[in-house]
Amino acid sequence: MMSNLRLLLVSAASGGLFCGFVGAVIGAVAGRGTSVLLPGLGLVISGPLAAGFVCGLTGVIFGSMIGLLAAAVIILTRRNPYP
């Protein structure tokens, strides 16, 4: 049986990796054929690159939170099993 801390860390990491990858792929596909202009800096960023980065980062954040929530439920269920 895994310790509680290890379960929390593994759940957060796996949720973040999976959701980050899926978010980056979906964002890159959705941003195809666009570009982002940053007037203050004079930069033009490729649309799929920017969309993939933002969606991937969002996926990592929310995937980690979902993984932590799932691990917390497992830990609480171990401690107080249903009657």
45 exposure class (CB count in 10 Å sphere: 0-12, 13-18, 19+)? middle
Q: What is the pLDDT of residue 43?
A: 73
Q: What is the pLDDT of residue 59?
A: 95
pLDDT band for 40, please (50, 70, 90 cuts): confident
pLDDT band for 58, please (50, 70, 90 cuts): very high
Residues in contact with 66: Cβ distance below 8 Å, sequence separation at least 6, in sequence order? 15, 19
Residue bearing the bigger pLDDT, 49 or 1 = 49
pLDDT band for 83, please (50, 70, 90 cuts): low
